């Protein structure tokens, strides 16, 4: 599966089209206009992968760097130069495990609950702290597929690919008043892996969450978040969401989270200040780890 990523190295912006090999990354001097044109002009995921690879690699300066080079900083995939022209949003209650029945093959689509988490500038990368309110009720990690859409100059959304993120939130606050306090519960920072997979949303995604406390494993459990775990159909969810004009603003980049399965909260575990959340997406070879940090109380 082809991937795409972006980074800053020694103050310059670079892109790449394959994950680390033997701990080394190949970086290409980024041409944002060429890359954006490739994402907006290709039709079909196979053509998209070819167009993006060509836009990144052809006729540009090339570097090989260590993936752990301290001067290398990854970026959220396709985050625009004006990071506030991007949106973190998603669906809730999408997994089959949260329903008492399976969907019928031709069942009429019912939109799941939806939320807006914040601006793309709020996204955090691997190993960056995820800041929460000072006194959360009960935190919940949420390993999720993230679909990325880029709107063209006329506001038409173009599917770019998918990645993986952690929609950390305060499920304890949400459950106190689900009809009113969910937006407050979502006001925790969200992380995303830098790898954008240039393919259709995956049918199957499996992995494990490990929560570390003081360097030791405090909780561990599996998860599934592919299309085969969802109650709703992914194309239906996307089509319904983009029927809203405000999400079709020219140039807007949407990071669309598809929802999560049951996790540590459902096992009675409480995430604490300083815990490290490690999401291992085994099916795709991706790891996303972030420490949790409670914010200082407001003065």
For 175-200, b/e burial (b = at least 16 CB within 10 A) is eeeeeebbeebbbbbbbbbbbbbbee
Q: Has residue 299 got a pLDDT over 70?
A: no
Residue 101's pLDDT is what?
A: 87
The Cα–Cα gap between 75 and 5 comes to 8
CA angle (95, 100, 105) in 5-degree steps: 70
32-41 and 45-57 helices cross at what angle (nearest 10)?
170
Q: Mean pLDDT score of the chain, rounded to an integer? A: 95
The domains found in the chain, sorted by start residue, are 1-75 (no CATH), 78-294 (3.90.850.10)
Residue 129's pLDDT is what?
A: 98
Q: Has residue 20 got a pLDDT over 80?
A: no
């Amino acid at each position: 599966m082809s991937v795409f990523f972006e980074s800053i190295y020694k103050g310059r912006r670079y892109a790449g089209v394959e994950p680390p090999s033997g701990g080394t990354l190949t970086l290409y001097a980024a041409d944002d206009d060429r890359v954006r044109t490739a994402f907006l002009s290709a039709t079909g995921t196979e053509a998209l992968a070819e167009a993006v690879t060509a836009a990144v690699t052809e006729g540009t300066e090339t570097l090989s760097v260590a993936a752990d080079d301290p001067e290398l900083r990854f970026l959220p995939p396709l985050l625009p130069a004006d990071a506030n022209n991007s949106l973190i949003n998603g669906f809730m209650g999408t997994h089959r495990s949260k329903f008492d029945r399976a969907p019928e093959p031709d069942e009429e689509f019912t939109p799941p609950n939806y939320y807006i988490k914040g601006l793309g500038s709020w996204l955090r990368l691997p190993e960056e702290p995820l800041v929460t309110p000072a006194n959360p009720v009960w935190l919940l990690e949420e390993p999720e597929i993230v679909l990325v859409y880029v709107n063209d100059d006329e506001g038409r959304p173009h599917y770019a690919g998918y990645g993986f993120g952690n929609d950390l939130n305060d499920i304890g606050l949400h459950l106190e008043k689900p009809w009113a306090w969910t937006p407050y519960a979502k006001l925790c920072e969200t992380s995303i892996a830098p790898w954008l997979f240039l393919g259709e949303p995956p049918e199957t995604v499996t992995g494990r969450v490990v929560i570390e406390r003081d360097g030791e494993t405090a909780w561990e459990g599996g998860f599934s978040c592919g299309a085969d775990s969802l109650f709703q159909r992914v194309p239906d969810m996307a089509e319904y969401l983009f029927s809203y004009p405000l999400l079709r603003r020219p140039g807007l980049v949407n990071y669309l989270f598809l929802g999560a399965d049951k996790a540590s909260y459902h096992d009675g575990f409480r995430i604490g200040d300083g815990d490290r959340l490690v999401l291992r997406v085994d099916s795709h070879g991706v790891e996303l780890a972030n420490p949790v940090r409670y914010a200082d109380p407001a003065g």
